[in-house]
């Protein structure tokens, strides 16, 4: 499935510009620098897929990639735009909310969390948004190569503790490293299982 050819479909800045729904969709969300582009590239096996289509500074767009007719990957922009003007942040939040509520083929949102930092208040905000939209999500821990192997179970437990009281039913936690490829077989298998559901 993932070995197929991935294609860039479109970049949607507004709800009106979303591509028609086709097959199953999974989305990736995370604050900037969390390692999202690296993960998209590692997951799709295309070195520069995430970068080729994204112009720096124009990150407030939903970027759609597709492999075959049955699976689309949606790159959600980095959140926590403390420096952006309020109207822009509000408009973008409305777009994201409309996307999350209306996209019936959206099977899972993967929220990326840096292993070194754990869940921060900006991450809690996106989790709140997902809980309110009643979207199922899972956590992807990125850059696990940056923490000592002996510390990783503690990092995972810390994340699990923070999401324990949320309404979502036991979000899974996937430890990954785009650098070493660790965790990618498990992640791909989880997406393949979603397709079978």
Judged by the rule CB under 6 A, the positions of this chain that interact with ligand GDP are 30, 32-38, 78, 142-143, 145-146, 177-179
Question: Would you give the DSSP letter of residue 150?
Answer: G
Q: Least CB distance from residue 5 to ligand GDP, whole Å?
A: 21
- Measured from the CB atom, is 89 or 182 closer to ligand GDP? 182
* Whole-angstrom distance, CA of residue 6 vs CA of residue 195: 17
Would you report the helix, strand and coil content of the chain in percent, each value rounded to 5? Answer: 40, 20, 40
- 36 vs 66, beta carbon nearer ligand GDP: 36
Q: Are strands 71-75 and 24-29 parallel, antiparallel or unpaired?
A: parallel
Residues making up the chain, counted from first to last:
197
Q: Which is nearer to ligand GDP, 33 or 105 (CB)?
A: 33
Provide the minimum distance between the beta carbon of 67 and ligand GDP in the complex, in angstroms, as a whole number. 20
Smallest gap, in angstroms, from Cβ of residue 169 to ligand GDP? 27
To ligand GDP, the closest distance from the beta carbon of 118 in angstroms equals 16
- For ligand GDP, which is the closer residue by CB, 78 or 171? 78
The answer to whether 166 touches 127, Cβ cutoff 8 Å, is: yes
Distance CA 128, CA 29 (A): 13
């Amino acid at each position: 499935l993932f070995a197929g050819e991935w294609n860039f479909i479109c970049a949607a800045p507004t709800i009106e510009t979303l591509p028609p729904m086709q097959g199953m969709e999974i989305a990736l969300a995370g604050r900037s620098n969390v390692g999202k582009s690296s993960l998209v590239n590692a997951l799709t096996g295309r070195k520069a897929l995430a970068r080729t289509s994204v112009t720096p500074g124009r990150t407030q767009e939903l970027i759609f990639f597709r492999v075959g007719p049955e699976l689309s990957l949606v790159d959600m922009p980095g959140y926590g735009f403390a420096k952006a003007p309020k109207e822009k942040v509000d408009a973008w939040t409305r777009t994201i909310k409309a996307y999350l509520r209306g996209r019936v083929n959206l099977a899972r949102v993967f929220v990326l969390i840096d292993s070194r930092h754990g869940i921060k208040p900006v991450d809690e905000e996106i989790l709140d948004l997902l809980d309110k939209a009643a979207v199922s999500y899972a956590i992807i821990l990125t850059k696990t190569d940056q923490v000592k192997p002996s510390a990783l179970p503690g990092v995972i437990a810390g994340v699990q503790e923070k999401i324990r009281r949320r309404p979502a039913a036991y979000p899974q936690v996937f430890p990954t490293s785009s650098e070493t490829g660790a965790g990618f077989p498990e992640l791909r298998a989880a997406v393949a299982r979603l397709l079978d559901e």
